[in-house]
Structure 1
Amino acid sequence: MRSVGLFAGIGGFELGLQRAGIATELLSEYWAPAAEVLSHRLDVEVVGDIRTLDAIPEVDVVTAGFPCTDLSQVGRTAGIDGSESGLVREAFRLIEQNPPRWVVLENVPNMLNLAGGRAMSFIAQWFEDRGWNWAYRTVDSQYFGVRQRRRRVFFVASRSDDPRSVLFADEAGIPRRRDDHSAYGFYWTEGNRGVGWGDGVTPTLKGGSKIGIASPPAVWRVAGPAGEAIARPSIRAGERLQGFRAGWTDLGAKEGVRWKMVGNAVSVPVAAWVGSGLVTPRDPVAVDRRLLEPGDRWPAAAASIGGSREAWSLSERPLVARGGPSLDALLAQHGSIPLSRGASSGFYRRLQASTLRVREDFRVALKEHVEVCAS
């Protein structure tokens, strides 16, 4: 099987599909730093602006992790008609000219809710109007062996096959919560209304600002020494948190630019799971489902076969991932940077002034970190 990657970023989809045995034929990526990574790391032709691409080759799979800028809760929320997220129409133009067997889209879960789910409605209707079956499922990267909580919607469509056999064939259910992790992630930039707390994982890596200001999360390493227990991951650790090898984006770009590339990427092991379903489709699992009526809110998972829409009761955890290094061990191996006095004291002040409930031992560790940094 062969694929074309649109809005390819730094190749998360492609690495995952290649692990499943799907070769990459062509990539399109507009942003120069990301395109440079693709050119150096993957032996594939890379073209620029999708709007200047006249056609795509005949392949089995087309992927498009189209921009989330206008759909994200922390973005502009302009919706599917925004100047960036609306570029998915360019992908549709190319797909309609030369339809593949499979189409795979990826974006943020807010696309199911923003403006009454207008983005999801537009995408679903586009495929149904042209006789395609589709299915989508919200999944979380932390259940695929990486130490990052990252919820994303994966949408698979086909004119000839049942996409439920790709996304709905695995179901592991949500595991029981543990309170004995060696490290916990949080957003040090917050503290007024939330902290993005992660049990043994970081919160979602963000792309940062358009001018390359990095915004990696922070981690509390429970047994870490004073002054180092509150830290942020190195960019090499950040690459591992997305399933790339450490150093994948190390081609001379500034750290902020590298964080933006990593934060915008598709998690490699999730793409590999999707790819395995494309190569070897299997019967969907037996779970509760119901008709999805016009006007219903978009659920976490749904499908349309022959134009009949159904909501499926599926968790965000398809698999029981094989064991990997803990968040603490990952930072020990690939590096972390103690959170600065200004950053940690600002977060602590906001947290103290808020009504947010956090673990008391975390509050104590944070206070100690601020005091050590000030001495």
Structure 2
Amino acid sequence: MKIAGLFSGIGGLELPFHARGAEAALLCDIWDASRCVLEEHFPGVPLVDDIRNLDTLPAGVQVVTAGFPCTDLSQAGRTAGISGDASGLVSHVFRLLHGRDIEWLVLENVRNMLVLDRGRAMAYLVSELEALGFQWAYRLVDSRFSGVPQRRHRVLFAASRHHDPREVLFADEAGEPPAQTFREDAFGFYWTEGLSGLGWAQDAVPPLKGGSTIGIPSPPGVWIPGAAVGHKLVTPDINDAEALQGFDRGWTEPAMSGKKKGPRWKLVGNAVTVGVAEWLIDRLYQPGSVVIPGRELTDLERWPNAAFGRAGRRWLFDASAWPVRRTYQHLLDVLNPDALAPLSHRAAAGFLARTKRSTLTFHPDFLVDLEAHVAVKRAEADRAFGQRGSQAAA
């Protein structure tokens, strides 16, 4: 296959194609940091910076991928909607498809676009696809199905004029795994929250988030009940985050360019989980029989988690977020507990204060360990302050 990757980021959608011998005819991303990573891992592939300046797709392209910006769609973003300055750039994907006969279009974005503005983003996407003569299908999936311990829900789209996308997205169904799949030795959470949400995940981390454009890291927290006091609440580093997305550790190092604080967290947080793309792409190469029941929708009150459509008609599919179940990597098998940084006193104390104002229900042992962690880190900070004072006096 010959592919063109639009909004390529760090290549999560394109990497599995590349690994299967496909030819990348074009990669496009407006961010310099992304292009540094793409240039390193996709040598020789033409890179374009701004999709708005791209007049046409290269000749012979059979597949177009586009993990278009989620900034205006995600709960962590501006939620301005599909017409926002960033997410609205997806319109250029449809512009480039006018008059081009391709085999497949693959889109990916956040779960929130199913409900934001009462599904306005979804209505826009499918109306544009149908105007171009595509039939389409989408499915909400959880990255954990690919084996990584990151509970990350994303919407995958597959659309074609020549093929049935149901044979790609609905040819596999594994269902939610049993509870005993997940160990109880580590739990992921958002230490930056605590009032209305926690992102709690057993034997996994919640979805990785990008942080800011100036490189402020936003790692999740991990609670390890069996660790020593002071090391029960820790955070993974950026190399861990890359592994949690299915990339090789160090994948985004080319973006640093000698900077002390770089954009790696944002790059990884915005990426497509590699294993998720691998499953989808394997089905593009080898479609299967539809194994999930569907029923036509006559009154679409809200967008379901999985659907198919063509020519103005819609069908709901009772698909889980786990099409397959790859061998699961437990969180503490991916992370090295001895190498994880303890949550600082300032971060832990702020989080503890928010939990006390919150109406959320917390695991009682978690709160006990949190309070003990704050006390230990406060004592360490006091000792360090005292030592600095003694040295200054001397």
TM-score, length-normalised on structure 2?
Answer: 0.91
Measure how far apart 1:306 and its partner are.
5.0
1:275 aligns to what? 281
Matches of residues 53-132 of structure 1 in structure 2 within 5 Å?
A: 53-57=54-58, 58-132=60-134
Indicate if the aligned counterparts of 1:20 and 1:275 stay in contact, CA closer than 8 A: no
User: Structure 1 residues 111 and 37, CA, compared in 2 at 3 Å: closer, same or farther?
Assistant: same
Aligned CA RMSD, in angstroms, stands at 1.7
Distance 1:263 1:364 in 2: 30
Measure how far apart 1:174 and its partner are.
0.9
1:165 aligns to what? 167
User: Structure 1 residues 225 and 7, CA, compared in 2 at 3 Å: closer, same or farther?
Assistant: same
Measure how far apart 1:294 and its partner are.
4.9
Q: Does 1:367 align with 2:371?
A: yes
Indicate if the aligned counterparts of 1:65 and 1:106 stay in contact, CA closer than 8 A: yes
1:46 aligns to what? 47
2:386 aligns to what? none
Distance 2:216 2:135 in 1: 41
Indicate if the aligned counterparts of 1:22 and 1:275 stay in contact, CA closer than 8 A: no
Q: For each residue in 1:319-351, what CA deviation from the matched residue of structure 2 results, as whole angstroms up to 9, or x when unmatched?
A: 111243x21122208942111000011111211
2:234 to 227, 231, 235: 231
Name the amino acid aligned to 2:118. G
Indicate if the aligned counterparts of 1:65 and 1:266 stay in contact, CA closer than 8 A: yes
2:331 aligns to what? 327
1:36 aligns to what? 36
Q: Count matched residues.
A: 373
Distance 2:7 2:375 in 1: 45
2:362 to 358, 361, 366: 358
Measure how far apart 1:110 and its partner are.
1.2
Distance 2:49 2:305 in 1: 33
Name the amino acid aligned to 2:207. T
Measure how far apart 1:101 and its partner are.
0.5
Distance 1:21 1:308 in 2: 36
Percent identity, please: 49
Matches of residues 173-252 of structure 1 in structure 2 within 5 Å?
A: 173-178=175-180, 180-251=183-254, 252=256
2:345 to 338, 341, 344: 341
Q: For each residue in 1:183-229, what CA deviation from the matched residue of structure 2 results, as whole angstroms up to 9, or x when unmatched?
A: 11000001111211001110111111233322111101222222122
Measure how far apart 1:130 and its partner are.
2.3
- Unaligned 5+ residue runs, structure 1? none
Measure how far apart 1:308 and its partner are.
2.8
1:292 aligns to what? 297
Moved more, 200-209 or 358-367: 358-367
**Structure 2 SS opposite 1:103:** strand
Q: For each residue in 1:109-144, what CA deviation from the matched residue of structure 2 results, as whole angstroms up to 9, or x when unmatched?
A: 111111111111011011112221100000010121
**Structure 1 SS opposite 2:159:** strand
Indicate if the aligned counterparts of 2:12 and 2:273 stay in contact, CA closer than 8 A: yes
Indicate if the aligned counterparts of 1:55 and 1:98 stay in contact, CA closer than 8 A: no
1:313 to 293, 309, 318: 318
**Structure 2 SS opposite 1:81:** coil
2:384 aligns to what? none
Indicate if the aligned counterparts of 1:168 and 1:285 stay in contact, CA closer than 8 A: yes
Indicate if the aligned counterparts of 2:292 and 2:318 stay in contact, CA closer than 8 A: no
Task: Name which one, 1 or 2, has greater alpha-carbon Rg.
Answer: 2
Name the amino acid aligned to 2:309. S
**Structure 2 SS opposite 1:13:** coil
Distance 2:319 2:47 in 1: 36
Indicate if the aligned counterparts of 2:292 and 2:317 stay in contact, CA closer than 8 A: no
User: Structure 1 residues 347 and 256, CA, compared in 2 at 3 Å: closer, same or farther?
Assistant: farther
Measure how far apart 1:40 and its partner are.
0.9
Name the amino acid aligned to 1:75. G
Name the amino acid aligned to 1:104. V
- Unaligned 5+ residue runs, structure 2? 380-394
User: Structure 1 residues 198 and 188, CA, compared in 2 at 3 Å: closer, same or farther?
Assistant: same
**Structure 2 SS opposite 1:138:** strand
Distance 1:157 1:231 in 2: 42
Distance 1:215 1:310 in 2: 39
Indicate if the aligned counterparts of 2:144 and 2:328 stay in contact, CA closer than 8 A: no
Q: For each residue in 1:286-336, what CA deviation from the matched residue of structure 2 results, as whole angstroms up to 9, or x when unmatched?
A: 32x221235431100000145431010100011111243x21122208942
Distance 1:293 1:334 in 2: 56
Name the amino acid aligned to 2:4. V
**Structure 1 SS opposite 2:347:** helix
